[in-house]
Amino acid sequence: MDKPNRDLVPYATYSRLLKFLHASDSPLCASEAVTRAVQLWINSRQRVVAPVTGYQWKCLFLPSGTRLRVHCMGQVSYGEVIGDELVFRGRAVSPRQMVTAAAGEARNAWRDLWVRRPQDCDWTQADKLRRALSADSKAAQPSPAEAIQLAARSMSEALQTALLLVDQSRRQAERQVERRVAKHRRRDDQLESEWLED
């Protein structure tokens, strides 16, 4: 029986692991089970960091592992995104080529293809996915009229700030011209101002 390394695994966790291995009749000893669990955890973290591959279909990104299907005359044909390519019947094709090969000419790939990405539970029509993306991008961007209003508001605020700065500088300049109040003036300054009055 393995002894727990108290520095790596808490005793309660180690004890629970031993009970599970015994109850499931696992051929692994506790240290092998811990080693495999750590390796699986590291591998899952590396997959998250790894760059995502997939097929870019106009505005719609289909990650690797995405399945596509098309129905025609009672037959269902499937394609899959593998790496950066859409593979159908052993060849890399475009969505249009897949629909044309499966259902013939005069078909619309957006309407006829159904998509199931790795994170999806159900199949969704490609056109519905495209419309959802379009709606999201329109919601994120202001209309031209809203953009003009935002720009005008920003310009107005910038102008008001500039006017305040100019007014503040003017007031500071006025104060610096005559810093001394009459009662604190030197006698020479007062005589000169009296002389100017005569």
Degrees to nearest 5, angle at CA 104 with 98 and 105: 100
Phi first, then psi, for residue 34 (nearest 5°) are: -65, -45
Mean pLDDT for the chain?
Answer: 79
Q: pLDDT category, 37, cuts 50, 70, 90?
A: confident
CA separation for the pair 10, 12 (Å, rounded): 6
Q: pLDDT category, 126, cuts 50, 70, 90?
A: very high
β partners of residue 61: 56
Amino acid making up residue 171: R
For residues 113 and 45, which has the higher predicted lDDT (pLDDT)? 113
**Mean pLDDT across 113-131:** 92
Lowest mean pLDDT among 42-46, 83-87, 192-196: 192-196
Q: pLDDT at position 122, please?
A: 92
Query: pTM score > 0.85 for this model?
Result: no
* Per-residue pLDDT tens over the stretch 10-28: 788 778 888 888 888 878 7
Q: Which residue has the tokens 């020479």?
A: 188
β partners of residue 113: 70
**Mean pLDDT across 78-102:** 93
Asked whether residue 91 carries a pLDDT value surpassing 90, the answer given is yes
Task: Report percent pLDDT > 90 for the chain.
Answer: 29
Domain ranges of the chain: 11-49, 54-139, 144-184
Asked whether residue 59 carries a pLDDT value surpassing 70, the answer given is yes
